Amino acid sequence: MKKFKIVLVILITVIGLLGFGIYSAFFTIQNIEGQEILGVSESLDGTYSLSMYLNNGGATTSYAVLGTLKNNETGKEKNIYWQYKCEQATVEWIDDTTVEINGIVLDITTDVYDYRNK
């Protein structure tokens, strides 16, 4: 019975790590890094900076635009926008925590836009 529990714990750990690896590689945009800067836009109160990047996936894929939000007070950054088959970014701040990027309105405190999750 003790051997069974050890094998079960190892199996659950391996499955959990594999699941986390798959999620990180294919289902989250937080690991994507920007390549060529398109521009930086500050929120109306100056608390946040939104950097827009153009990413080139190579010869077999189209360009994509990545939006990275930085909290200027804490220094924390997170990716909030990822659009495929796009080469430019139009950014307009609606208020201190709401931004419109290429027609997509995001509440920066909660929303993340990823074209794969339409």
- The helix (run of H) or strand (run of E) holding residue 13 is helix 2-26
Residue range 31-70, pLDDT digits in tens: 667 778 899 999 999 999 999 999 887 777 888 899 999 9
pLDDT of residue 93: 96
**Average pLDDT for residues 93-103, to the nearest whole number?**
95
Q: Give residue limits of the domains in the chain.
A: 1-31, 36-117
> What's the pLDDT score for residue 95?
94
What is d(CA 90, CA 117) in angstroms, rounded to the nearest whole number?
Answer: 21
pLDDT(7) > 70: yes
Mean pLDDT of the chain: 87
Query: The whole model's pTM is what?
Result: 0.74
Q: How many CB atoms lie within 10 A of CB 97?
A: 17
Per the CB < 8 A criterion, the answer to whether 44 and 75 are in contact is: no
